[in-house]
C-alpha cells in the first residue's frame, strides 16, 4: 500500500504564538465535559451523574436563561420580513405587540436586509442609538462617529490589541485574575502581558500601588507598557470599581501615558452599589482638570452577551473611542474594514439592548418582568452558591458576590491532594476541577486559567445554572475529596 505524502502543516511548524496561547475557559476540562455530554446523550449509564453542568463559561442561554421576548420577536421579523405581510397573525397568534412591528420596520428601513454587509463601523442609526444610550447613562455627550459596532466584545478587543501592540516589546497591563481573552490575544501577537494582582483581601479590589509596582518592574525589564486593561465588573471576580478606584486608574494613565481599555461587558450585572463607567468618570475629571486628563485615550466595550440579554450566540457588541489621534482612528477603521463588518443581526440586537421598550409602550411590561426575573434569579443563585462555599465547604473561602456571573472561591487543599496532583503532573486546582467533573459532571475552570497569586488556589464557577441541586453536589464532592486526602 502506498503511503500518503506528509501534510504541509504540523504542530511544530504552525504559528508558535497560537500554540502557546492559553484559553482555559474552553480547555481540556470543557472538552472532557463535552465528551461526557455526548456519552450521556448516547445512553451511557456508567457515569456517576445524569447531567453535565457547564459552569465553566458565561453562556447564559446554554444554561436555560430565557431570551427576552421583545428582542427575539423583532429579530424574527428582521430575519424574515415577509412576516410583516400578515400583521394580524403576528398579533393574534404570536402575540407580537405593535411596538415590535414598528421597531422591526424602522430597523429594516435603515438596514434593508440583515443578509447584506453593513458599514464596517456598524449601521449608522444603530451607532446613534448607542451614543444616545451612553449619553443617558453617563450624563455626558457621546458622538456616534466614536462608536464601533463589533462581533461581541472579543472581536473589538482583538482589533484594538492588534493596533496597540507594535512589536514584542509592547506591553499591556492585565489584571490577575483576568478573563484570558487578554493574555491569549497578547500571546498570539507576541506582545507582553504585564500582570497586576487584584487584592483578594479587599474583595478583589483594584489596588493602584500593585499596578504601579508591576509597571515599574516591566519598564525596568525594557517593556514598552502602552495600555491597561480594567474589567469592570470583573471576570472572574465580580468586583466593581468605585468612582475613586476609577480615578486612581485614570491618574496613573495620565501620568504614564497609558491607553485605558475598560471592559464593561458586565455593566448591568451589579448586585452591590452602582456601576460607574470609565467614560463618565473621565468626563468628570476632564471638567475639573482639562489639561491633566485632556489627552487620555480610553476605549470602553460593551456586549449583548451578558447581563439580562445573554445573547452571546448573536455576537453583538460595541466599543467607544475617546481621545485617540485621528490617524490612529483611521488605522483602526481600516483594520475593521479588512474584516468587512460585524454580524448585522448582532448589530440589530445591540440596538434593542440599548433602546429597549419604554414605560407606556405595549411591550414594556413583559420586557420589564422578564428582565427583573432574570436579574433576581442570578442574584439568588449567586447568594446560594456563596453561602454553600463559605458555610459548608471546609477550607473554602469566597468573597461576597458583587456582580458579573461568577464566583471565584479560594480552596485550601490538604498536602496529600497536592502531592497526588504533582504525581500526575497537574496543577492542584486543575486536579481538583478534573476530579469534580469526573464525580459530578460539573465543569468549572481552575484558578490557574485566570492567573492567581502564587501559593493560592481557586476555581471559577458561573452561577447561571438553574436550581440548587448542583450546588449540593459540589458540597458533597468537596467533602469526599477532603476526606480522601486528609
Ligand atoms: C470580561 C469579558 N470580556 C469580554 C468577553 C467576551 O464577550 P463577547 O461575547 O461580547 O465577545 C467576556 C466573555 O465572557 C468577558 O468575560
Atom of ligand 1 nearest to the CA of 157: 4
Q: Worst-scoring range by mean pLDDT, 159-168, 217-226, 281-290, 454-463?
A: 454-463
- The answer to whether residues 117 and 237 belong to one domain is yes
pLDDT given at position 293: 97
Residues of the chain above pLDDT 90, percent: 84
Ligand 1 centroid – CA 265 distance (Å): 6
Q: What is the pLDDT of residues 389-404, one digit of tens each?
A: 888 899 999 988 888 9
Q: What is the pLDDT of residues 333-347, one digit of tens each?
A: 999 999 999 999 999
Q: For residues 346 and 72, is the Cβ–Cβ distance under 8 A?
A: no
With respect to residue 341, please indicate whether it lies within any of the assigned structural domains: yes
- The answer to whether residues 194 and 336 belong to one domain is yes
Q: What is the pLDDT of residues 470-485, one digit of tens each?
A: 889 999 999 999 999 9
Segment 252-277 shows an average pLDDT of 95
Q: Whose CA is nearest to atom 7 of ligand 1?
A: 153
- The answer to whether residues 406 and 455 belong to one domain is yes
Indicate the residue among 354, 386, 419 that finishes a domain.
354
Ligand 1 centroid – CA 157 distance (Å): 9
Higher pLDDT, residue 467 or 118: 118
Q: Give the C-alpha separation, 211 to 206, whole Å.
A: 8
Q: Name the grid cell of 182.
A: 487578554
Ligand 1: does its nearest atom lie under 6 Å from the Cβ of 408? no
Q: What is the pLDDT of residues 287-304, one digit of tens each?
A: 999 999 999 999 999 999
Ligand 1: does its nearest atom lie under 6 Å from the Cβ of 265? yes
- The answer to whether residues 36 and 172 belong to one domain is no
- The answer to whether residues 321 and 236 belong to one domain is yes
Candidate from 161, 181, 404 with most ligand 1 atoms within 8 A of CB, to mutate: 181
- The answer to whether residues 278 and 340 belong to one domain is yes
**pLDDT class for 57, splitting at 50, 70, 90?**
confident
- The answer to whether residues 28 and 157 belong to one domain is no
Ligand 1 centroid – CA 129 distance (Å): 22
287 CB-near residues (< 8 Å, 6+ apart): none
Q: In the predicted model, is pLDDT for residue 1 greater than 70?
A: no
With respect to residue 77, please indicate whether it lies within any of the assigned structural domains: no
**Domain count of the chain?**
2
Ligand 1 centroid – CA 262 distance (Å): 12
Ligand 1 centroid – CA 193 distance (Å): 18
Q: Whose CA is nearest to atom 13 of ligand 1?
A: 58
Residues of the chain above pLDDT 70, percent: 100
Q: Give the C-alpha separation, 57 to 385, whole Å.
A: 16
If you average pLDDT over every residue of the chain, what do you get? 94
Distances (CA, A) of 283 to 199, 317, 323: 27, 22, 11
pLDDT given at position 269: 93
- The answer to whether residues 194 and 325 belong to one domain is yes
- Output b/e per residue, 348-361; b: 16+ Cβ within 10 A: bbbbbbbebbeeeb
CATH number at residue 124: 3.40.640.10
With respect to residue 4, please indicate whether it lies within any of the assigned structural domains: no
With respect to residue 346, please indicate whether it lies within any of the assigned structural domains: yes
Ligand 1 centroid – CA 194 distance (Å): 20
Instruction: Count the alpha carbons within 13 Å of 213 in the hemisphere toward its beta carbon.
Output: 10
- The answer to whether residues 379 and 289 belong to one domain is no
Segment 456-479 shows an average pLDDT of 90
- The answer to whether residues 158 and 184 belong to one domain is yes
User: N- to C-terminal Cα distance for the chain?
Assistant: 57
**Rounded to the nearest 5°, which phi and psi values hold at 266?**
-100, 25
- The answer to whether residues 300 and 179 belong to one domain is yes
Instruction: Supply the range of the domain harboring residue 188.
Output: 110-354
Q: In the predicted model, is pLDDT for residue 233 greater than 80?
A: yes
User: Which DSSP symbol is given to 393?
Assistant: S
Q: Give the C-alpha separation, 245 to 276, whole Å.
A: 10
Segment 250-264 shows an average pLDDT of 98
Indicate the residue among 321, 354, 387 that finishes a domain.
354
With respect to residue 1, please indicate whether it lies within any of the assigned structural domains: no
Atom of ligand 1 nearest to the CA of 151: 11
Nearest of 224, 289, 290 to residue 256 by alpha carbon: 224
Atom of ligand 1 nearest to the CA of 57: 14
Segment 421-443 shows an average pLDDT of 95
CATH number at residue 409: 3.90.1150.10
- The answer to whether residues 25 and 131 belong to one domain is no
Ligand 1 centroid – CA 337 distance (Å): 22
User: Which DSSP symbol is given to 204?
Assistant: S
With respect to residue 430, please indicate whether it lies within any of the assigned structural domains: yes
With respect to residue 451, please indicate whether it lies within any of the assigned structural domains: yes
Atom of ligand 1 nearest to the CA of 303: 10
Indicate the residue among 322, 354, 386 that finishes a domain.
354
Q: Which 3-state string (H, E, C) describes 221-279?
A: CCCEEEEEEEECCCCCCCCCCCHHHHHHHHHHHHHHCCEEEEECCCCCCECCCCCCCHH
Q: What is the pLDDT of residues 76-128, one digit of tens each?
A: 999 999 999 999 999 999 999 999 999 999 999 999 999 999 999 999 999 99
Ligand 1: does its nearest atom lie under 6 Å from the Cβ of 406? no
With respect to residue 83, please indicate whether it lies within any of the assigned structural domains: no
Higher pLDDT, residue 298 or 180: 298
Candidate from 56, 148, 152 with most ligand 1 atoms within 8 A of CB, to mutate: 152
**Rounded to the nearest 5°, which phi and psi values hold at 71?**
-60, -50
pLDDT given at position 465: 85
Ligand 1 centroid – CA 263 distance (Å): 8
Amino acid at each position: 500500500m502506498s503511503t500518503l505524502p506528509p501534510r504541509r502543516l504540523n504542530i511544530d511548524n504552525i504559528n508558535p504564538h497560537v500554540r502557546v496561547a492559553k484559553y482555559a475557559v474552553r480547555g481540556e476540562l470543557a472538552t472532557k465535559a463535552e465528551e461526557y455530554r455526548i456519552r450521556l446523550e448516547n445512553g451511557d449509564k456508567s457515569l456517576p451523574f445524569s447531567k453535565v453542568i457547564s459552569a465553566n463559561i458565561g453562556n447564559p442561554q446554554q444554561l436555560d436563561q430565557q431570551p427576552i421576548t421583545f428582542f427575539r420577536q423583532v429579530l424574527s421579523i428582521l430575519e424574515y420580513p415577509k412576516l410583516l405581510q400578515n400583521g394580524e397573525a403576528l398579533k393574534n397568534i404570536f402575540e407580537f405587540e405593535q411596538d415590535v412591528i414598528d421597531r422591526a420596520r424602522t430597523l429594516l428601513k435603515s438596514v434593508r436586509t440583515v443578509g447584506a454587509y453593513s458599514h464596517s463601523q456598524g449601521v449608522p442609526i444603530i451607532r446613534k442609538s448607542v451614543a444616545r444610550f451612553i449619553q443617558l447613562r453617563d450624563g455626558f455627550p457621546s458622538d456616534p462617529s466614536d462608536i464601533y459596532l463589533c462581533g461581541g466584545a472579543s472581536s473589538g478587543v482583538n482589533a484594538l490589541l492588534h493596533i496597540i501592540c507594535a512589536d514584542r516589546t509592547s506591553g499591556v497591563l492585565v489584571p490577575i485574575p483576568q478573563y484570558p481573552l487578554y493574555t491569549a490575544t497578547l500571546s498570539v501577537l507576541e506582545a507582553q502581558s504585564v500582570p497586576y494582582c487584584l487584592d483578594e483581601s479587599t474583595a478583589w479590589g483594584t489596588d493602584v500601588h500593585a499596578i504601579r509596582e508591576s509597571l515599574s518592574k516591566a519598564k525596568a525589564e525594557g517593556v514598552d507598557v502602552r495600555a491597561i486593561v480594567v474589567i469592570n465588573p470583573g471576570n472572574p471576580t465580580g468586583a466593581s470599581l468605585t468612582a475613586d478606584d476609577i480615578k486612581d486608574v485614570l491618574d496613573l494613565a495620565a501620568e504614564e501615558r497609558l491607553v485605558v481599555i475598560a471592559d464593561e461587558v458586565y455593566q448591568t450585572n451589579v448586585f452591590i452599589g452602582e456601576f460607574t463607567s470609565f467614560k463618565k468618570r473621565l468626563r468628570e475629571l476632564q471638567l475639573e482638570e482639562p489639561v491633566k486628563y485632556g489627552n487620555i485615550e480610553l476605549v470602553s466595550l460593551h456586549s449583548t452577551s451578558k447581563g439580562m440579554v445573554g445573547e452571546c450566540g448573536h455576537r453583538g457588541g460595541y466599543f467607544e473611542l475617546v481621545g485617540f489621534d485621528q490617524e490612529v482612528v483611521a488605522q483602526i477603521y481600516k483594520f475593521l474594514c479588512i474584516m468587512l463588518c460585524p454580524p448585522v443581526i448582532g448589530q440589530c440586537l445591540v440596538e434593542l439592548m440599548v433602546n429597549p421598550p419604554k414605560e407606556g409602550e405595549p411591550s414594556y411590561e413583559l420586557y420589564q418582568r422578564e428582565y427583573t426575573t432574570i436579574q433576581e434569579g442570578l442574584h439568588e443563585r449567586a447568594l446560594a452558591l456563596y453561602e454553600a462555599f463559605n458555610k459548608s465547604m471546609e477550607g473554602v473561602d469566597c468573597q461576597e458576590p458583587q456582580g458579573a456571573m461568577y464566583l471565584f472561591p479560594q480552596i485550601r487543599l490538604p498536602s496529600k491532594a497536592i502531592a497526588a496532583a504533582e504525581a500526575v503532573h497537574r496543577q492542584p486546582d486543575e486536579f481538583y476541577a478534573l476530579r469534580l467533573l469526573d464525580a459530578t459532571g460539573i465543569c468549572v475552570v481552575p484558578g490557574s486559567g485566570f492567573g492567581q497569586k502564587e501559593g493560592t488556589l481557586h476555581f471559577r464557577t458561573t452561577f447561571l445554572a438553574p436550581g440548587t441541586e448542583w450546588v449540593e453536589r459540589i458540597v458533597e464532592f468537596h467533602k469526599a475529596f477532603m476526606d480522601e486526602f486528609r
